[in-house]
Amino acid sequence: MRRKLLFAERMLHGNGELPFNAVIPIKIKGTFPEENLYQALRKLQEKHPLLNACVENDARGMPWFVVDEAVTASIPVRITERTGEEDWKNESMQEWSGVFNTRKGPLMRVVWIRGVEFSELILVIHHCLCDGGSAMAILAELLLLMDDGTANIGKEDPIMSIQDIIPAEILKSRKKMIKAKLIGGVATFALWIVPLKKHLVARKKDYMLHWKLEKELSDRLMLKCKSEKVTVNTVLCAAVLQAFQEVRKAGFHNKISCPVDIRRFAPRIKRDHIFAFGLMFVVSADQQLDFFGNARKMQADIDRKTAKLDAYDTIMMMEESHASLNRFTEFLKYGKSSNDCMFSNLGKIDIPHQYKNFELETIFSPSVIGPLGNTTTLVTSTYRGQMDFTFIASEGFIPYTEAVEIQNKIMEIINRL
């Protein structure tokens, strides 16, 4: 199998020498044989060809996912003994900086923090291979197979090109093709004429904050949002922006970027497809309004922007922009950050918690940190009725003490609603 990397995948892969890892930790109550984990990982690789892939450049320097069916490298597992409740945080942060050998593969590994009553598993996957949706699909299948090695998880028919994503009538539309080439060309030209200072922000130490809402508070927040006719996601966006404003003051940009699951707009990308491509919109607050007045205005803005998102146009335009990839990467690295953070809400995670041989006590919200500019990211998800937050940042962008203040402000705002 050979598949050329799409623009977004190339951007996340870079030259393969820097880490850009999605880290997905879970906590399990109960025990399972070591062989069950290895067998489950083998079956995942049997279903998903890209979990066997490495990345090779062709004669023109273009990277391809390559699977050699005659030589399959197993997903590696690192086992460490559990000493306490904080182990998963330390191991997660360690895994941020672990560089995959993308020329050799595979692009996934697992850390097992093994305990007597509780264990944590950490799935680490190169971000060029998967997004949050893919990661949750892999996790669901892994747990099912760990519990029952005979479970049938099917066989993925992998995405091989944009022809597998975009309907032919759109892909061959003369109007769409001209639009993609025009926008791609303009974007490429604009990137080349924008001057960049070749001075990287000193990232300094990376760190993580993690917290959960009690189930009662999670329920109360959801009911309040329903009564105010705004989504939980919008209210959280408003709370995050307010917290950044109150803490950062002159350093506040009033912008957060929000990724959107592309599967909502491109139905050919299935839930269990290994794929890494996100749509994005930017949200700002109206600081003249009260909290829910602002939230309702933000909701209207989000609804408008979501309605305008066009996955097919975006993919086609980006595929016409490969010539500008290096410049775009430089722009992200060296350009002045104008966003406060990226805010990603995975929503309710629909994975069972009770298995025959163990219980999935919790799924911690994933973390991801990469080399492309501002690392400040807040990820939230809801599992078993509890909202969970992971805040990732670097001292060079936001001092740790300010991040703690932002965390506390977000909680103050939520508790007041």
CATH number at 100 reads 3.30.559.10
Alpha carbon distance 165, 7 (integer Å): 14
Q: Is residue 135 part of a domain?
A: yes
d(CA 136, CA 125): 12
- Exposure string of 360-384, with b = 16+ CB inside 10 Å and e = fewer, is bbbbbbbbbbbebbbbbbbbbbbbe
Looking at residue 61, its amino acid is G
What's the total number of domains in the chain? 1
User: Which residues make Cβ contacts (< 8 Å) with residue 408, sequence separation at least 6?
Assistant: none
| 69 within domain boundaries | yes
Q: Give me the domain span that covers residue 56.
A: 2-147
The torsion angles phi and psi of 233, rounded to 5 degrees, stand at -60, -45
> Is the residue at 51 inside a domain?
yes
Beta strand pairing call for 278-283 and 367-369: unpaired
3-class DSSP string for 396-414 = CCCCHHHHHHHHHHHHHHH
Residues near 282 by beta carbon (within 8 Å), at least 6 away in sequence: 255, 256, 257, 258, 339
The DSSP letter of residue 6 is P
pLDDT by position in tens, the chain (length 417) = 999 999 999 999 999 999 999 999 999 999 999 999 999 999 999 999 999 999 999 999 999 999 998 778 999 999 999 999 999 999 999 999 999 999 999 999 999 999 999 999 999 999 999 999 999 999 999 999 999 999 999 999 999 999 999 999 999 999 999 999 998 888 777 777 776 666 777 899 999 999 999 999 999 999 999 999 999 999 999 999 999 999 999 999 999 999 999 999 999 999 999 999 889 999 999 999 999 999 999 999 999 999 999 999 999 999 999 988 888 888 788 767 789 999 999 999 999 999 999 999 999 999 999 998 899 999 999 999 999 999 999 999 999 999 999 999 999 999 999
Residue 306 is assigned to a structural domain of this protein: no
Residue 133: CB atoms within 10 A of its CB come to 21
Buried b (16+ CB within 10 A) or exposed e, 14-42: bebeebbbbbbbbbbeeebeeebbeebbe
pTM across the whole model: 0.95
Residue from 178, 23, 7, 200 nearest 95 by CA: 23
Residue at 118 is within a domain: yes
- 342 phi-psi bin (left φ>0, alpha ψ -120 to 50, beta other): beta
Q: Which two tokens stand for residue 214?
A: 């009690």
Dihedral class, residue 384 (left if φ above 0, else alpha if ψ from -120 to 50, else beta): left
Asked whether residue 159 is assigned to any structural domain, the reply reads no
Is residue 182 a contact partner of residue 188, using CB atoms and an 8 Å limit? Answer: no
Q: Which residues contact 130 (CB under 8 A, 6 or more apart)?
A: 22, 138, 274, 275, 276
In a domain, 120, yes or no: yes
The answer to whether residue 239 is domain-embedded is no
The kind and range of the H/E element at 216 are helix 215-228
- Could you tell me which of 283, 285, 252, 395 has the C-alpha nearest to residue 345? 283
Spell out where 309-366 has E strands. 341-348, 359-363
